[in-house]
Amino acid sequence: MIDPITLAVLAGRMEQIADEMDATLFRSAFNPIIAEAHDASHGLYHAATGDTLVQGKSGLPIFVGVMAFAVKAVIDKAARDGDLADGDVYIFNDAHIGGTHLSDMRLVRPYYHQGRLFCYLASVGHWHDVGGAVPGNYNPRATEVFQEAFVLPPVKVMRAGVVQQDVIDIILRNTRLPASAQGDLNGQLGALDLGVRRMDGLLAEYGADTVRAALDALSDRAETLIRAEVASLPDGRWEATDYLDNDGITDVALPITVALTVAGDRLSLDFTGTAPATAGPVNISRGTAIAAVYVAIKHIFPGLPANAGVMRPLEIIVPDRSLLAAEFPAPTGGYTETILRMIDVIFSAMAQAAPDLVVANAYGTINALSLAGYRRDGRRWVMFSFYGGGHGGSTDGDGLNHGNAPISTATIPPVEILESAYPVMFRQWALRPDSGGAGAHRGGMGAVYEIELLEESAEVFLFGERGRHAPKGAAGGGDAALNRFSYSQGDAWATPAMVSKGTGMRLARGDAVRLETPGGGGYGPAAARDPGAVARDVALGLVSAQAADAAYGTAWRGITA
């Protein structure tokens, strides 16, 4: 039994090691998706099971949880091959065994102490380009992973400390941006090296037995923590269903269903009833689905630590061959939309059990929008970004206007950077009035982005959602506005057949695209909103007078904001 003082100190020390690995990669990565948007993560994983032991604080939320599957894939591979050695580093991007999508390159390194395997260290980062049909790998038309990127299963990029240049050569020949890939690879190897050095120091100071005891105790305590949280919920069963608009190939709504059951200190999440795997790229792997559950749970209970102990009292049922457990080679490029909807239904079900704990739905789509074409001098340009929306209301107050998605911490590029790099002019970059759901605490506002083309022609690609099924309110609050996308063709405006998904839409000079994103859902009945707050929203132009009358009645009229 480890003493509580040493345990508290070691908890911080080990989290620190993961944080330092994050910092090392952020500083050294070449590509801005890692360096600026911090689309990466590092941690320590169990030697036998791959379970997450410790994960850094600064990595992207969705990676907390999904990395255990990447490590397990390496453990299985090494067991088959029987050649695991100190100084090995495995590399792969296969999303069907490692989770998320093919852009995320995973490096896994066994950590040995005095000749014995102690744990694994792992690093994941979003590379700029990994081949496939579309630069940047967001291909809404993909029906197989092979159209999304090259697929790398777990292979050794270092063998007993020796770099395997053959493997690196294969990888670099399969990307449009080899220099960027080499830079990110070096950064991830450097982060793992640092992790090894820090672990050496920690084990020399405390001894392997003490550190192992601390890791076990931390997982046990995480389990105790979540059991205490779950036990404070009422027993019962609650269901919620929401829909993806379509898979981008066939215009059919795709249900995602959860039944949440609380029994004492155990929590079950059953996704039976969810749509089967699809032709288009809104599939996710089972590992991604389980990681999405973790993200939702940690948003509800932010104090939970990032280790596998949290998952022990959870029973997660993901039906085979559903779009939450798609099999190779089903495409997974649009995994973000699917996990956002999973988080939404978990929140909606939990809101019935414990409304105080839950925030109403956020805007629920990343709206990956790209405009691409050729300049007069023949150079190709691709403007690619994700766009923001509103967050849900909660017991704390109104939802946040224009935030990033619950699975992300990435910021949006400034208009001025985009306009200086690409032949476009933003006509509007504004909050979208009436886009937040009504409620005692209303949802935050989504945004309006209108972008005019300044070149002769361009093609537009969009991967979004929530065009037909709005983000939901909680505890009696109203739904947010739908996602809306249109593009001009001279004087007329058109919309894509798949609503928020489309490829190859053509613009001429002076044409524009207009993206209006959803706000967040409202919290609590609109009738309970302070009329003074309604009057203030109207005075600020966030809520129109007509919408205010419809949602809140006319009590606000006559109040001076």
Partner 1 sequence: MTSSILIGVDVGGTFTDIFVLDAATGRAEVAKVPTSRPDQSAGFLAGIAQRVADLGTVATVVHGTTAGTNALLERKGARIGVITTAGFRDVLEMRRRDRPRTWGLRGDFTPVVPRDLRLEVAERTLADGTIHTPVDLDAVRAAGHALLAQGCQAVAVLFVNSYANPANEQAAVAALRAIWPTPHVASSSEILPEIREFERFSTTALNAYLQPEVSGYLGRLETALKSGGFGGEFLIVQSNGGVMAVDTACRLPVRTALSGPAAGVIAAAYIAETAGFPDIITGDMGGTSFDVALIAGGQAALAAQTAIDFGMVVRVPMIEITTIGAGGGSIAWVDKGGLLNIGPESAGSDPGPVAYARGNTRPTVTDANIVLGRIDPDRPIGGGRLDVAAARAAIDAHIGGPLKLTTEQAAEAIIRVANSRMAGAIRLVSIERGHDPKHFAFMPFGGGGALHAGAMLAEVGLSRAIVPRYPGVTSAMGCVIADMRADFVQTVNTMTTAADGAALAALIGDHLGQGAAMLAASGGAFAARVVTVELDMAYVGQTHTVSVALPVTITADVVTPPTVADITAAFEAAYLRVYNRLLPGGVSRILNLRTAVIGQRPKFDLATLAPTTSGAVTPRTTRRVHMGGDWCDAAIYDRLALPVGTVIHGPAVLEQPDTTILVEPGLMGTVDAYGNVILTRSAA
Least gap, CB of 477 to partner 1 (angstroms): 14
Q: Which one of residues 72, 212, 298, 514 is an interface residue with partner 1 (CB under 8 A)?
A: 298
Output 28 or 268, the one with its CB closest to partner 1.
28
510 binds partner 1 (CB under 8 A): no
Q: Which one of residues 39, 148, 184, 229 is an interface residue with partner 1 (CB under 8 A)?
A: 229
Output 158 or 424, the one with its CB closest to partner 1.
424
Least gap, CB of 166 to partner 1 (angstroms): 21
8 binds partner 1 (CB under 8 A): yes
Output 82 or 378, the one with its CB closest to partner 1.
378
Least gap, CB of 183 to partner 1 (angstroms): 7
Rounded Cα distance, 119 and 112, in Å: 7
Output 34 or 73, the one with its CB closest to partner 1.
34
Output 92 or 363, the one with its CB closest to partner 1.
363
27 binds partner 1 (CB under 8 A): yes
Q: Which one of residues 101, 106, 109, 391 is an interface residue with partner 1 (CB under 8 A)?
A: 391
Strands 512-516 and 447-453: antiparallel
Contact of 496 with 451, CB cutoff 8 Å: no
Strands 89-92 and 501-508: unpaired
Site for partner 1 in 420-459 (CB under 8 A): 420, 425-431, 444, 447, 450, 454
Q: Interacting stretch for partner 1, rule CB under 8 A, among 260-268, 300-308, 324-332, 464-472?
A: 300-308
Q: Which one of residues 13, 42, 106, 514 is an interface residue with partner 1 (CB under 8 A)?
A: 13
Q: Would you give the DSSP letter of residue 486?
A: E
Output 79 or 377, the one with its CB closest to partner 1.
377
Half-sphere CA count of 28, side-chain side, radius 13 A: 18
* 9 backbone dihedrals φ, ψ, rounded to 5°: -70, -45
Least gap, CB of 315 to partner 1 (angstroms): 21
Q: Is 189 exposed, middle or buried (0-12, 13-18, 19+ CB in 10 A)?
A: buried
Contact mark string toward partner 1, 53..72, x via CB under 8 A: ----x---x-----------
Site for partner 1 in 526-555 (CB under 8 A): 539-542
30 binds partner 1 (CB under 8 A): yes
Site for partner 1 in 95-134 (CB under 8 A): none
Q: Which one of residues 412, 528, 555, 559 is an interface residue with partner 1 (CB under 8 A)?
A: 412
1 binds partner 1 (CB under 8 A): no
Contact mark string toward partner 1, 192..211, x via CB under 8 A: --x-----------------
346 binds partner 1 (CB under 8 A): no
175 binds partner 1 (CB under 8 A): no
Q: Which one of residues 113, 299, 484, 501 is an interface residue with partner 1 (CB under 8 A)?
A: 299
Rounded Cα distance, 552 and 65, in Å: 42
Q: Interacting stretch for partner 1, rule CB under 8 A, among 275-283, 333-341, 391-399, 469-477?
A: 391-399
Nearest to 27 by CA among 186, 199, 201, 182: 186
Output 312 or 468, the one with its CB closest to partner 1.
312
**What single-letter amino acid sits at 428?**
Q
179 binds partner 1 (CB under 8 A): yes
* Structure tokens that stand for 529 in this block: 């909103």
Least gap, CB of 394 to partner 1 (angstroms): 5
Least gap, CB of 492 to partner 1 (angstroms): 21
Q: Which one of residues 117, 167, 172, 415 is an interface residue with partner 1 (CB under 8 A)?
A: 415
**What single-letter amino acid sits at 228?**
A
Q: Is 210 exposed, middle or buried (0-12, 13-18, 19+ CB in 10 A)?
A: middle
| Residues paired with residue 314 on neighbouring β-strands, in sequence order | 267
Q: Would you give the DSSP letter of residue 169?
A: H
Contacts by residues 494-500 (CB-CB < 8 Å, ≥ 24 positions apart): 496/462, 497/251, 498/245, 498/246, 498/248, 498/251, 499/245, 499/246, 499/251, 499/467, 499/468, 500/245, 500/365, 500/367, 500/462, 500/463, 500/464, 500/465, 500/466, 500/467
Give the interface size with partner 1 as a residue count (CB under 8 A): 81
Q: How many helices (DSSP H) and strands (DSSP E) are in the chain?
A: 12, 20
Rounded Cα distance, 448 and 426, in Å: 10
Least gap, CB of 428 to partner 1 (angstroms): 4
* Structure tokens that stand for 255 in this block: 């249900």
3-state secondary structure of 317: strand
* Phi-psi category of residue 132: left, alpha or beta, with phi > 0 → left and psi -120 to 50 → alpha: left
Site for partner 1 in 245-274 (CB under 8 A): none
* Structure tokens that stand for 547 in this block: 């919408």
Site for partner 1 in 303-332 (CB under 8 A): 303, 305
Output 147 or 428, the one with its CB closest to partner 1.
428
Nearest to 513 by CA among 464, 460, 468: 460
